[in-house]
Structure 1
Amino acid sequence: MTTQHHHLSGQDQHGHRHDHSHEDYGGKAGVAELLELEAAALGTYSDEIAAWAAELVAAAPRTIVDLGCGTGAGSIALARRFPSAEVTAVDNSPHMLERVREAAARHRLASRIRTVPADLDEEWPGIREADLVWAASSLHEVARPDRILADAFSSLASNGLLVAIEMDTLPRFLPHDVGLGAPGLELRCHEALARAGWNAHPDWRLPLERAGFRIAAQRSFTPEARPGEAAGRYADAFLARVRRALDGELSAADRRTLDHLLDADNPDALLNRNDLAVRVSSTAWAARRP
């Protein structure tokens, strides 16, 4: 469960969720690149949610767990927001955990962020009496989220807080009319991705309550990154993966338009445009262990 904001998962007939990111994103290295580009483009997005969590915690947390930490944007934001806390970053990918350690060193937080390899579908890491558990786009990646929530509940101290974050929609970058092909290209891509079950997740309120949590708050976050190099690089990386995932699903005309946008040699390619903006919408649930 290598995640941070938009791993794209479907659901089979038995209700099990599957991570498509390995095949669609070119393996862990591709996922890591995408997560880091997202963090660069959206800037203070994780900091904003961490600040919201700071308003809800019962006391300054000393032990924080970042489940499915990806490349560590959440871990870094949490360590900065809560200077007295130790952050445990959990992921099943050694590649991702190495990226977390590198990021922690860059931000001079290595002494307060430790990494723990764990596949949550197999076992819960040996963490107890946590004050805050953070799950950013990771709950929808596991096969049995109800069990994970029960484990998280048991691992929290009394009055401890769990914050679950999910992206409501996939990132949007393009204007309605990109000046090539038929207008509405991105909308058609998103419709095709929705049919494939990308980024599918439930409203976590009821599962959290079933696990014993009391919902403390729920909030939407809608960060937007303005045009610039970071937005262009993120758009290029994301839409290149979308292009591969939708090969055969889009019309030939739409595939040609995407290929044109992804060709850096074209003057109107994504990397050369000044009309891109990264637009996302996420929901965060904060739930307390009574």
Structure 2
Amino acid sequence: MFALWPALPDARTMTDHHHGTTTPAPEHGHDHGQGNGHHHDHTHMDWDALAAYLEGEAEFLTPLLEQATAWLRDLLTQSSGPGPDEVRRVLDVGSGPGVTSCLLAQAFPQAEIVAVDPTEALLGRARERAARLGLGDRFRTQVAELPDHIDAVGDADLIWSSKALHHVGDQAAAVAALARRLRPGGLLVASEGGLAPRFLPRDFGIGRPGFQARLDAVQEDWFAQMRAALPGSRAVVEDWPALLTAAGLRSPHSRSFLLDLPAPLAPAGRAQLTLLLSRFAEKAGDDLDEEDRATLARLLDPDDPAGIARRPDLFWLSAQTFHTARAA
């Protein structure tokens, strides 16, 4: 995807036919026609090519992720299960290049951290990051897919899975597979949902007002097609606390955290937003009408005074939701 946007694929957490059970959200096999007579390939992602983008994206989200890991420590302190300093093994399922895995290692300094992902190239980046941070002796990686191969990873006191479950055809089965790997009193954390980012005023001076709402609508359509194309896809009400309790877990909690970067957005944020919109233009730009495509082109033009590179009113505001529940 864009993990920052809830519809185009979060490549670091998707699996593909080369690994076995689940298909990557966009691309491989099925060619879905979308508006304007254009066709998009929704079933293949080149994870190796996306690795640097995904790593930069996760680094951009770090302030939000640090809030979430601090909240998890508080939850564990208040619980009857293992306290934060008693957590001995943590799984990051759908870890990608390991940015969050390393944050979890810092939040739980007594724990072994296992970054789990179907793509070895991304796990290689995770190992390199862990080594740079001095985590090598308690950090390891494992190639595995959700849900079919997760049992081989072993048990844990804390299992974290961010934006991975919605790339599995049977999301309830994926939740149940993770729940089985929890030790008594252990905590499962599933990050799904939130709010799509906002980065411009409703009327920002070019094109029709409401541009971002129309981007959201395109992404929602794309996401529905992606879900329908997954092997074994099953429709489910995405009530994540209910899915967690149906898997036998208890005491569900949900909490959302903001990434709030006011205008003017710093150069690093502008660079990340440029990549985000560029990928949107590549994957779904044809589904916008002519005027919105022209607006998107102007936003991506580094020489246009109204573009992302130069606008003084550019900001970033998004939310990511985390759902937790505990094993008996």
TM range (shorter): 0.7 to 0.9
Matched, 1:240 2:278: yes
Would you say how many aligned residue pairs link Structure 1 and Structure 2?
Answer: 284
The answer to whether residue 237 in structure 2 is matched with residue 218 in structure 1 is no
User: For residues 20-169 of structure 1, what are the structure 2 equivalents within 5 Å?
Assistant: 20=26, 27-29=46-48, 31-57=50-76, 58-59=82-83, 60=85, 61-169=87-195
Q: Which amino acid aligns with 1:252?
A: E
Query: What TM-score, normalized to structure 1?
Result: 0.87
- The 1-side partners of 2:213 and 2:6 are apart by 19
Q: One-letter code of the match for 2:247?
A: A
Sequence identity, in percent? 32
CA–CA distance in structure 2, aligned partners of residues 136 and 21 of structure 1: 21
Gaps of 5+ in 1: 11-15
Distance 1:154 1:195 in 2: 33
Contact kept? 2:244, 2:252, Cα under 8 Å? no
Deviation at 1:125, TM superposition (A): 4.4
Q: Relative contact order (alpha carbons < 8 A, sep ≥ 6): 1 or 2 greater?
A: 1
Shift of 1:7: 6.0
Q: Which stretch has the larger CA shift, 195-204 or 184-193?
A: 195-204
- SS of residue in 2 equivalent to 1:108: coil
Residues 168-247 of structure 1 aligned to structure 2 (within 5 Å): 168-197=194-223, 202-226=238-262, 227-247=265-285
Q: Which one is further off, 215-224 or 278-287?
A: 215-224
**TM-score (normalised: structure 2):** 0.78
2-structure distance, mates of 1:147, 1:34:
30
Deviations 1:66-85 (A, max 9, x none): 01012222211110111111
Deviation string for 1:248-268 (max 9, x for gaps)? 321111101111111223233
Deviation at 1:216, TM superposition (A): 3.7
Cα deviations across residues 129-188 of structure 1 (Å, max 9, x unaligned)? 310000111111112222222222221110000011123233222222232222221121
The one-letter code matched in structure 2 to 1:78 is L
Specify the code of the residue in structure 2 equivalent to 1:27: D
Contact 1:46/1:73 (<8 A) preserved: no
Letter in 1 for 2:47: K
In the alignment, does 2:319 pair up with 1:285? no
Cα distance in 2 for residues equivalent to 1:261 and 1:145 = 36
CA deviation profile, 1:45-85 (whole Å, cap 9, x unmatched): 11111111111223221100001012222211110111111
Contiguous gaps of at least 5 residues in structure 2:
10-21, 29-40, 77-81, 228-236
1:174/1:28 CA distance change after superposition, 3 Å: farther
The CA RMSD measured in Å over matched residues stands at 2.7
State the one-letter code of the partner of 2:157: D
- Secondary structure of the residue aligned to 1:233 is helix
